[in-house]
Chains A and B, each alone.
Chain A
Amino acid sequence: MKSQAIAKYWYPLSALVLLLGAAWIWFSTAPPDLAASEAVQAPHQGFLAPDFELRNAAGESIRLSDLRGQAILLNIWATWCPPCQAEMPAMQAVYEAYQEDGFVILAVNAANQDDRQAVLSFIQEYSLTFPVLFDDSGSVAQTYLANALPTSFFIDRDGVIQEVVVGGPMSQALLHEQVQSLLEQP
């Protein structure tokens, strides 16, 4: 009986459902400030990368927001982490390839769970020329919710996170693609 009623009124019911759906689409158009979520700092794709200031081995201070205008790979790592070790040569190769186009790597070492001497030896062994920063308190790893190492953030020239890669190692092709994509953005 019920199914007969549904069958009888199928077309008007369908039309009503579609009409209500169309009205809901119209009623729920996004407010103009929805896209403004990019102005909020959060460690997630589409948001502004949270700012921080850390020192490198020479004691020089580097602030993330000072690098606005450049494409950035923020890589949080440690020497004892095998995937971190494995992806470093590819990162160095990509850095050399795109450095002059406005690309920079910030390798933030989870120094609160690493050995400073081991990091310095690691930099020499892998001939790393990009900045390696020391997160002594672990605050940057905490802010970026880096619960697993390595964790990488691809940040565009406006400081917005475009991609997050948790774990590794990242392949050279992936690095090339991500960096090219960041550099191609106006």
Chain B
Amino acid sequence: MLPILHIGPLAIQTPGLILLLGLWIGISLTERQAHHHAIPAGKIYNLILWSAAAGIVAARLSYIASHFSSFAESPGSIVSLNTALLDPWAGAAGAFLAALIYGHRSQLPFWNTLDALTHLLAVFAVASGLSHLASGDAYGAPADLPWSIWLWGAYRHPSQVYETGAALFILFALWPQKGFIRPQAPGVRFLTFIALTAAARLFLEAFRGDSTLLPGGLRLAQLAAWIVLAACLWGLRKWIK
């Protein structure tokens, strides 16, 4: 765990730095591979940029709308850099909508665009695991194993290592032109990535210590992952045939 990186007088939050690095590497890889998906590199870059900007604005506006009284008392908080003042679901919806609008206006083919973005998503998934390792978030359930790690007052499953390992496996399985899964038809790369990620989450959630639980001890993330996996398998059927 390395939540803070001290460089001279600067105290840099390592998890955030890792995510930014992941974003940067992912965008670079996506731009470089864009032509393989018949997408101009500039357009995929613009799509990511517009989505990110729209996502941030939507996340903040939604948060302000739902906590208006707090912002009315201190309007300066509207432009606060604090990421806690963001509504992640509204941000995701805003980013998705912006991507749809930009993609439609730029006449980007839907499935090819998703295939191109898969490179970014796959790299970002690895960065997400590493950022959890740095922050100690997404921690494992207590376990007495030779490879358990001491975290938050107990020996636990190194769930962040499992998460990073699974993301690395998926990244290299789908690595452009060299991975052992080489999808041909448009959309297969994206759906395969989502299916593998959902399967990994379904399996690895069992070792987490911070799962959101439903009655009977069922883990919400596992159920969600199962549904996503089922949808992807259904979606893949027409290309596999």
* Residues of A bordering B, CB below 8 Å: 3, 6-7, 10-11, 14, 17-18, 21-22, 24-25, 27-32, 34-35, 37, 40-42, 44, 46-47, 90, 145, 147-149, 163, 165-167, 170-174, 176-178, 180
Contact = CB atoms under 8 A, between A and B. Distances in A.
Contact of A174 (B11, B80, B241): B80
Residue from A27, A31, A34, A173 whose CB has the most chain B CB atoms within 10 Å: A173
B4 A147 contact: yes
Contacts of A32: 217
Interface of B: 3-4, 6, 11, 13, 67, 69-71, 73-74, 76-78, 80, 82, 84-85, 136, 139, 141-142, 152-154, 199, 202-203, 205-206, 209-211, 213, 216-219, 222-223, 225-226, 229-230, 233-234, 236-237, 240-241
A43 B54 CA distance: 34
Given A29-B217, A40-B154, A22 B136 contact: no
B80 A171 contact: yes
The B contact surface, by secondary structure, is helix
Given A10-B236, A35-B213, A174-B82, 8 more contacts: A6-B240, A24-B202, A147-B3, A148-B11, A165-B84, A172-B73, A173-B78, A176-B74
Contact of B199 (A21, A46, A163, A180): A21
B233 A18 contact: yes
Contacts of B241: 7, 10
Contacts, number: 130
Nearest to A13: B233
Contacts of B76: 171-172
A29 B216 contact: yes
Contacts of A41: 153
Nearest to B202: A21
B80 A173 contact: yes
Contact of B203 (A14, A24, A35, A178): A24
Most buried by B among A27, A47, A145, A177: A177
Nearest to A32: B217
A27 B207 CA distance: 12
Given A17-B233, A165-B84, A167-B11, A34 B154 contact: no
Contacts of A44: 136, 139, 152
